[in-house]
Amino acid sequence: MRKHTSPVKAAKQALKRKERNTGYKSAVATETKKALATIATGDKAAAQKALRDVQSLIDGAKTKNIMHHRTVARKVSRVAAKVAKMAK
């Protein structure tokens, strides 16, 4: 273990941040899977609602600097494209 207090505190903070970020990314993955399952059922209204939920959660990750803005754009774009394809 480190002897000085500053690195000890920094290590504790890093663990807290890692746990929080991992939880948020896990929530994004879960919500995305739910949305893709909803799209697979073919219910257009439910799929659009699921897209809004996913987009909201993923945008929150961008706001909190958990995910890079391009990663966020890519993930939202992929789900939105499947919803748009379903609407045709």
Instruction: Give the chain's mean pLDDT.
Output: 93
- In tens, the pLDDT along 22-52 reads 999 999 999 999 999 999 999 999 999 999 9
Mean pLDDT over residues 10-15, rounded? Answer: 94
Domains of the chain, CATH where assigned? 5-87 (1.20.58.110)
The predicted structure's pLDDT at residue 4: 87
The b/e string for 26-47 (b: 16+ C-beta within 10 A; e otherwise) is eebeebbeebbebbeeeeeeeb
Per residue in 52-71, pLDDT (tens digit) is: 999 999 999 999 999 999 99
Question: Over 70: is that where the pLDDT of 1 sits?
Answer: no
Residue 2: band (very low, low, confident or very high) from pLDDT cuts 50, 70, 90: low
